[in-house]
Structure 1
Amino acid sequence: MTSGDGTPVEELRLLAVDLETSGLSRSQDRILAIGWVPVDGTRIDLSGARRHVVRQDEPGDAVTIHGLTHDDLDDGRPLAEVLAELRASLAGRALLAHHAPFDVSFLEAAHRELDQPLPRVPIVCTLALQRRLLSRYGEIPRGALRLWRAREHYGLPTAKAHDALGDALACAELYLAQVAELGTAGRAVRLRDVRLRRTWLERVRGWLRGTR
């Protein structure tokens, strides 16, 4: 069972997820790779980390970013199999991602295409959390919400970007740093304090239905 809003972050179970896609359009582009890693409270469980390349015909215009070639995609797994494994790993967890509306929109679209439901779970977005944390100090510098710039803010090491598993792990580490900052005020931090507000989710699902 997924944790409720009152669950302390020390007890919260999440799955940090990252996608590599052929482009930015959920209606025209496709998922090329998915990486994920579980987060149990304040511990990252590397034993549950996974990265899967998805079998597709074309790497798309973003090939210079994600670096996945035709050969990589030819050797990939069918999307239905990868999504089934993702759903199993997501069971009982909140979904954690950096700029989560992007990842959720692609996952929702892929599931709809396969006539499969994406579980309705709480969504935690490290980009939204970083915006909230930085806004306490005034105007947010340009680019400060990007994953790697946000990590720099907490002194986290840099790493190669645009690898699905690497970015999922980077997101998980950033989340733990953000939770630590949220807890410095001495107040218990709970799921309600970190989850993405419902208005964002409603907007994403509105896009998927072709409405605003």
Structure 2
Amino acid sequence: MSRAVLFDTETTGLEPLGGDRVIEVAAIELWNDLPTGKVFHTLIDPERDIPAEASRVHGMTSADVAGKPKFAEIAAELLEFFAEDPLVAHNAPFDFGFLDAEFARIGRAALDRARMIDTLALAKQRFPGMPNSLDALCRRFDIDFSARTTHNALLDCKLLAEVYVELTGGRQRGLDLAAESTIRLVEYRSEGPRTPRPVVASAAELAAHEAFIEKLKEPVWRLEQ
């Protein structure tokens, strides 16, 4: 079993080194690329105003984050949730850049880029030359994103988790694991190991099969091995 953390941020703008700040962080725990239901989420006081153009993207204003904790107050809990596991994000360099800028302000180390898994890069590899925004991927994988009227870190994480499952084949692996568990449960509940029973065709079934292959041109059953 392997753990990873999928996360997203919302910010006051696009320039972490130009004074823009993080106003929301959401993260979802994954095991074997599947969500476990364990979530980290918080709004953050950016200690500056939120420009109108940013509010049009994520729908949040300065009033929404007034009185919320500052980044320094949530950093330790966020890092504890991240632990040392891989970090998954869509356009991950953007989110890593903002968190690194926030960590630098409080004297903490930047995130290790070796931990980065960028779902945008994965999508571009799988669908080269096609739109690979989160909305486009949701449409492609038939994931309902009707609630996404504006950017929202927690909702975006939940949608991205579904997209990530599709990009990595995680849903199929999850089904395989569930099937394997069911088989083991049935075996456990059975009274001892089952004795194999050979299946023998009846004379009528053999005759019907012979009549069927007589109608075929060069049937494989007639080829010499």
What is the TM-score with the length of structure 2 in the denominator?
Answer: 0.69
Quote the residue 1:58 is aligned against.
Answer: 49
The separation in 2 between residues aligned to 1:24 and 1:70, in whole angstroms, is: 17
Q: Which residue of 1 aligns with 2:80?
A: 88
Q: Is the 8 A contact 2:34 2:161 kept in 1?
A: no
2:23 is the alignment partner of 1:32: yes
* Residue in 1 that maps onto 2:6: 16
Structure 1 unaligned regions, length at least 5: 1-10, 185-212
Mapping for residues 18-167 of structure 1, pairs under 5 Å: 18-28=8-18, 29-46=20-37, 48-56=38-46, 57-60=48-51, 61-120=53-112, 122-135=115-128, 140-141=129-130, 144-158=131-145, 159-160=147-148, 161-167=150-156
Task: Extract unaligned runs of 5+ from structure 2.
Answer: 174-225
Asked if the contact 1:19–1:31 (Cα under 8 Å) also holds between the matched residues in 2, the reply is yes
1:7 corresponds in structure 2 to none
Q: CA deviation at 1:92?
A: 3.0
Aligned equivalent of 2:169 = 180
Contact between 2:40 and 2:81, CA under 8 Å: does it hold in 1? no
Looking at structure 2, the residues matched to 119 and 103 of structure 1 have their Cα atoms a distance apart, in angstroms, of: 11
Q: Is the 8 A contact 1:87 1:119 kept in 2?
A: no
AA aligned opposite 1:123? M
Does the CA-based 8 Å contact 1:87-1:118 persist in structure 2?
Answer: no
Matches of 1:65 and 1:119 in 2, distance apart?
Answer: 26
Contact 2:91 2:120 in 1 (8 A): yes
CA displacement at 1:84 relative to structure 2: 1.6
Whichever residue aligns with residue 12 of structure 1, its letter is S
> Equivalent residues in 2 for 1:190-209 (5 A)?
none
RMSD value, Cα:
2.0
Q: Which has the higher contact order (CA 8 A, sep 6+)?
A: 1
Greater gyration radius:
2
CA distance in 2, matches of 1:72, 1:162: 14
Q: TM-score, normalised by structure 1?
A: 0.73
Within 2, Cα distance between the matches of 1:128 and 1:150? 12
